[in-house]
C-alpha cells in the first residue's frame, strides 16, 4: 500500500485494510502523519528520500494499492505491467496518471475504504507481511549505524535527526524545507501517534520550512513545533522570518518548544549532489557555496535563544537545551557537507556519473571515503535490493 495526505483522516481504515491484505504500508512525504512509524508494517517514505524497506516492498509487489496521494515519481513505482493497481483519489482526474491502474475508485479515502473493507477477504499467507517487517527492522538498524558514524570529529547530519527522534515531545508538529536535511527528516525521525508534519511535498521548493512552522505555532500555540531547515533556505527567508517570530512573543513564545534547526554546511547540498549524480558535474562553488553565517548568534542578537553545536558528542545535549528553552530557538549544527543523501537504490548510470564528478570535485576525496563507509553499512545489513 502507498498512502498520502488524502488519507489523513482514515488511519483506522488504512490499518484495517493492511491487516486484511497482509500488506505493508509506505508513505508519501505529505502522508507521513497518517500512520505512526512504530507500526511494524509501516515502511516509511518512498522515493529518492525514502527507505530501503519501502523501496523493496513497492518495487517487488504484485499488487499496488494507492490511496490519497498523487506521488509523482513513477521511477520509484513498480515497473509498468509488473503489478495490478487499485487507486483511491477524491479527484478522478488524478487516478491512473502515475501508474496504470486496474480499478479507479473516486472518492474520499475514509469513506471509500469503509465501503471497500467488507468486500476484502483476509489473506492467510502472511509471508509478505513478515518479509516487510524484517526489512523495516534491518532498515532501522542501518539508519542507526549510519547516524552513528563519525568522520574526523565533524557532525554527521544524520545524527542530528537520529538524536532528536527519541526526544520528540508528544503531540509535536514537524516541518521541513526542501534540501538534504529533508532526507534525514524523512528517514530518521520516527513519528508517534498524534504528531503532525508538513513540507513542500508537491513543488519541492526551498523556503517553506520556516513559515510553515510559524503558521503551525500560530494555529497551535500550546504544541511543540520543530522545523528542519538548510542554511540556504534559512538565508533566503528564514532569517527575516525570525523577526516575525520576535514580533509576536505573546503568541509564539510559551512553555512548548519552538525550535528552528539549521543545518550549516555552507552548501546548497541537495542540488550539489543532484548535479553530481544526474549530470556527472563536480560541485561548482560559484553557485553552490553558501556564506557561513552565525545563525545562533543572530538569534541572540534579536532576542531569541541561540544554541550552537559543532561537536558530535554534544548533539543530544544541544537538543535538550533547545527543547527546554522558554522562548523560540535557533539551533545551529555545523554539519559535514560531504555526507551524501544516498537513495534507497542507486541506478547504475547515476553511480557512474557521481564517480565521474568525484574525480574533479573539490570535495572528491572526502565524499569518496565517507560515501564508501556509508554504503558499507547497507551491505553489512544484507538488505535485498533492486539494481537496475
3-state secondary structure 167-226: HCCCCCEEEECCCHHHHHHHHHCCCCCCCEEEECCCCCCCCCHHHHHHHHHHHCCCCCEE
Alpha-helical regions (H) of the chain: 11-21, 52-60, 109-116, 127-147, 157-164, 180-188, 209-219, 231-233, 239-247, 249-252, 269-274, 285-288, 295-301, 315-323, 348-360, 364-380
pTM summary value = 0.88
3-state class (DSSP) for residue 46: coil
Q: Count CB atoms within 10 A of the CB of residue 368.
A: 16
More confident residue, 259 or 150: 259
Give backbone dihedrals phi and psi of 88, rounded to 5 degrees, phi first: -110, 125
CA distance 304 to 302: 6
Half-sphere CA count of 212, side-chain side, radius 13 A: 23
64 near 25, Cβ under 8 Å? no
Q: Which three cell numbers stand for residue 365?
A: 576525496
What confidence score (pLDDT) does residue 266 get? 84
Reading phi first (left if > 0) and then psi (alpha if -120 to 50, else beta), residue 208 is in: alpha
Q: Which of 183-192, 318-327, 363-372 has the lowest mean pLDDT?
A: 363-372
CA distance 265 to 141: 26
3-state class (DSSP) for residue 227: strand
Q: Which of 55-69, 96-110, 225-239, 333-347 has the lowest mean pLDDT?
A: 333-347
pLDDT surpassing 60 at residue 19: yes
Q: What is the mean pLDDT of residues 128-154?
A: 94
Average pLDDT of every residue of the chain: 89
DSSP symbols for 143-159:
HHHHHT--BTTBBPHHH
Q: What is the pLDDT of residues 36-92, one digit of tens each?
A: 999 999 999 998 889 999 999 999 999 999 999 999 889 899 999 999 999 999 999
Reading phi first (left if > 0) and then psi (alpha if -120 to 50, else beta), residue 96 is in: left
CA distance 190 to 140: 10
More confident residue, 7 or 344: 7
Amino acid at each position: 500500500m502507498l498512502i498520502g495526505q488524502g488519507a489523513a483522516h482514515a488511519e483506522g481504515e488504512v490499518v484495517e485494510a493492511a491487516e486484511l491484505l497482509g500488506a505493508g504500508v509506505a508513505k508519501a512525504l505529505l502522508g507521513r502523519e497518517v500512520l505512526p512509524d512504530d507500526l511494524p508494517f509501516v515502511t516509511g517514505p518512498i522515493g529518492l528520500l525514502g527507505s530501503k524497506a519501502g523501496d523493496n516492498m513497492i518495487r517487488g509487489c504484485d499488487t499496488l494499492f494507492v490511496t490519497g496521494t498523487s506521488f509523482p515519481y513513477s521511477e520509484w513505482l513498480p515497473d509498468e505491467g509488473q503489478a495490478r493497481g487499485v487507486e483511491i483519489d477524491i479527484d478522478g482526474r488524478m487516478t491512473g496518471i502515475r501508474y496504470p491502474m486496474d480499478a479507479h475508485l473516486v472518492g474520499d479515502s475514509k469513506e471509500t475504504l469503509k465501503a471497500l473493507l467488507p468486500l476484502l477477504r483476509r489473506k492467510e499467507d502472511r509471508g509478505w507481511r513478515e518479509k516487510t517487517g524484517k526489512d523495516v527492522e534491518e532498515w532501522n538498524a542501518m539508519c542507526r549505524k549510519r547516524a552513528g558514524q563519525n568522520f574526523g570529529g565533524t557532525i554527521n547530519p544524520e545524527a542530528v535527526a537520529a538524536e532528536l527522534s527519541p526526544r520528540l515531545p508528544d503531540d509535536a508538529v514537524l516541518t521541513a524545507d526542501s534540501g538534504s536535511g529533508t532526507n534525514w527528516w524523512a528517514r530518521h525521525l520516527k513519528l508517534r501517534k498524534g504528531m503532525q508534519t508538513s513540507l513542500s511535498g508537491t513543488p519541492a521548493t526551498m523556503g517553506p520550512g520556516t513559515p510553515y512552522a510559524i503558521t503551525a505555532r500560530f494555529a497551535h500555540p500550546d504544541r511543540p513545533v520543530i522545523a528542519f531547515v538548510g542554511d540556504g533556505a534559512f538565508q533566503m527567508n528564514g532569517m527575516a522570518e525570525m523577526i516575525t517570530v520576535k514580533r509576536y512573543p505573546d503568541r509564539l513564545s510559551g512553555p512548548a518548544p519552538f525550535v528552528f534547526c539549521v543545518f550549516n554546511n555552507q552548501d546548497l547540498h541537495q542540488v550539489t549532489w543532484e548535479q553530481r549524480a544526474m549530470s556527472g558535474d563536480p560541485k561548482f562553488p560559484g553557485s553552490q557555496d553558501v556564506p557561513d553565517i552565525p545563525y545562533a548568534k543572530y538569534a541572540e542578537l534579536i532576542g531569541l535563544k541561540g544554541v550552537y553545536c559543532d561537536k558530535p558528542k554534544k548533539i543530544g545535549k544541544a537538543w535538550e537545551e533547545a527543547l527546554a528553552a522558554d522562548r523560540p530557538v535557533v539551533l545551529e549544527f555545523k554539519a559535514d557537507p560531504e555526507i551524501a543523501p544516498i537513495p534507497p537504490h542507486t541506478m547504475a548510470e547515476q553511480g557512474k556519473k557521481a564517480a565521474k564528478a568525484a574525480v574533479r570535485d573539490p570535495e572528491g576525496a572526502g565524499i569518496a571515503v565517507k560515501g564508501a563507509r556509508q554504503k558499507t553499512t547497507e551491505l553489512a545489513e544484507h538488505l535485498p535490493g533492486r539494481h537496475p
